[in-house]
C-alpha cells in the first residue's frame, strides 16, 4: 500500500470514531424512553426545535465527511 492509501485509511478511522462520538452525544439528548419514538419534541414550549445546534452541525459534517471518505478509501484500495 502506498502512503496515500495508509493516510486515507487513518483519516477514515478517525472520522468513524468522531461519528460514533457525535452520534452518541446526540442520543443522550433524547435518552428517555419516549425519545426513541420521536417524543423528544413534546418537551419544547413551541413545538419541535428549529435549526441545528453546534453539536448537531458537527455530527452532520462528520457523517458527510465519513461518506466521502468511504468512497475515497474504496477507490484507493481498488487500484
Higher model confidence: residue 79 or residue 70?
Answer: 70
Instruction: Please report the pLDDT score of residue 77 as a whole number.
Output: 92
Instruction: Please report the pLDDT score of residue 9 as a whole number.
Output: 94
Residues 15-67: tens digit of each pLDDT? 999 999 988 887 766 566 555 555 555 555 555 666 778 878 888 899 999 99
* pLDDT of 79 higher than 90: no
Instruction: Please report the pLDDT score of residue 24 as a whole number.
Output: 85
| Cβ atoms within 10 Å, residue 65 | 16
pTM, two decimal places:
0.70
- Say if CB 19 and CB 63 are below 8 A apart: yes
Amino acid at each position: 500500500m502506498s502512503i496515500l492509501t495508509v493516510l486515507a485509511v487513518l483519516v477514515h478511522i478517525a472520522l468513524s470514531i468522531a461519528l460514533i462520538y457525535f452520534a452518541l452525544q446526540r442520543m443522550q439528548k433524547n435518552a428517555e424512553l419516549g425519545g426513541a419514538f420521536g417524543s423528544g419534541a413534546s418537551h419544547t414550549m413551541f413545538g419541535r426545535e428549529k435549526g441545528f445546534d453546534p453539536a448537531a452541525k458537527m455530527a452532520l459534517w462528520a457523517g458527510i465527511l465519513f461518506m466521502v471518505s468511504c468512497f475515497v478509501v474504496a477507490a484507493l484500495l481498488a487500484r
